[in-house]
Structure 1
Amino acid sequence: MAVQDNDALLRLRQAFGSFATGVTVVTSTTAQGDPIGFTANSFTSVSLDPPLLLVCLAKSSSNLEHFTQSGHFAVNILSEVQKDVSARFASRSADRFGETAWCGSRLGNPLIDGSVAWFDCETDNIVDAGDHVILIGRVAEFDQIEARPLAYLRGHYLDLGLVEATAESVSHHGGVRVGCLLEYQGQVLLQKTPEGWCLPMGGVRNGFREGRAELEDLLAMQGVGAELGFLYSVFDAPSGNATWMIFQGEMELCPAGVEFALFPVKDLPLQEISPQPVRSVLRRYQTEFREARFGLYVDGTTSAGQINPIDRNATPWSKIMTEQGNQ
């Protein structure tokens, strides 16, 4: 799709948002020594030798001149309990540091308490890049702690703690089968089986790690390049002999095997999908993809489980099915 108008720019922003990232607060000081900072997820490592990283700063930022002239900055990778810090430094608050615990680094950059990791940097280079500048920093010092990072996808925070707790609580009686719901440019990858179309699924294995390895081997053999993301659905197999775990992911390479095919999300062949639980997973995905709002489905002790959105508010599966008219 060409980027030509405001609508296209909005869709491009949404497409960029399909990449799950961490959340950072980038900090520095003004010429007068006042602390400044902004929330950013456009952060990546660049080099180990020399140790380089980069962040992007909008040219429209009121802090542009300070960051490009200070000669130093720090990157603070936020933890999952620092959503308030992320929001504060993304707002127009005049006193972002007033309610934030921090200390000064050796280079004078603010380091935020409780961050998963921090990097104290000297500015190595500044690159002009469209409506942003790229700040390339040479890492002078860094540190990290044992904590879960704050993650972000499609305009929402991801609850990695909920995903881990769900995975750990899955009963391994009868084994685990791991599958994936892979998206590629608004399309979903399906695998042809004797029973019909299905999501790519590994075989039943004793534990989660073995099950995921089985799935990754299957994808590799078929020439599918993919990055598995968050846990999307957990339920008992139709036969009751295993727990199925479906992960959402992004495709990087198209499949080479003839048994795989891509279908537009809105035109999935639902009547040809087998088994029924996978059909339900794909119906839900159609709705959530359209609304860009995702949740984790967890099987319940009754016939229906519940959807756990990113904000932890559980929605009964029966309500979702009623709204879709698929009861």
Structure 2
Amino acid sequence: MLAPAPQTETAIDPIALRRAFGTFVTGVTIITTIDCEGNPRGMTANSFTSVSLDPPLLLVCVGKGATSFPVFNQAQFFAVNFLHEGQAEISGVFASKSPDKFQSVSHDRVHTGAPVLTDCLTWFDCTTHNSIDAGDHIILIGQVRAFGTSPSAPLGFCRGRYANVKDPLPAGWLASHGMVVGYLIEAEGNILLRSDARGGWVLPSAKRRIADNELKLDDGGALTLLPDNTFLYSVFDVADSDPGYLIYRARLSQDSMGVALPADLKFFPIQALPYDAIPTRELRAMLRRYVRERLDARFGIYMDSRDGGRLAMIEGDAQPWQKTMREQS
């Protein structure tokens, strides 16, 4: 028998290969972590793949020539943030070598400590499961510890440029549950929180605004709020559950100071709130804002928006509506 003819190896043109790879339409992500000095680090990447549901694994590829490569190569945790269609500019910032990348975005910490972008399409907070050397990249495999998503349209990328993705939200993708009314109740320098039965703490809530300035308790009792000290404080959505939230700030009346609380309600000192046990970054951010404004005795109203929200400060003391109308007439 004749020996098979040796195969001639064809040289691969890396530029042409890059262009061929680029015809695969992807989303755009910003991957983030913390360096050894505690500084947030991040870069744009579009090589993302879901790997496994059990355990929950994903992967991203990090180029060895990237400025942040040494940090990600040693990272014990990282976050992957999908960008929505309005964040092409942010993608450009994180693709650059700018030293102030995080000045352009609001961010928070959820589980591992990696920066999670407050306004993005979807985020995954991960511990590093494995790191695999792969040519001029490393494959960073993460185990998902927390995640959240939103109904925004994704930012696409194809052939080296951003692409619009027609993305009508499928029916039932995020079910709307109407508005949840929450109360940020203060009494003698303490804030009232409610156990969520999963080890976390949230604000007391109601299906609609509390009638007669009373917060009903499970045992049939009630806490009375001061009517002249109850104000709308924040309006926002929680991305991964999609209800709208109306938050009122309020003060407890003197008559309710000695009322025995059910086991799921507890007052926490305003300077010692259990942020690590508060399950959503939106609620943590709102409470931190309240603490700052409480110290300054100057409050605002927050309204959610796609670019991170709007905050309007309130000047002066509250006035009765009828008195205001009389003065204007």
Considering fraction of residues, name the structure with more helix: 1
The two structures have a TM-score, normalised by structure 2, of 0.47
TM-score by length of 1: 0.47
- Specify the structure having the higher radius of gyration (Cα): 2
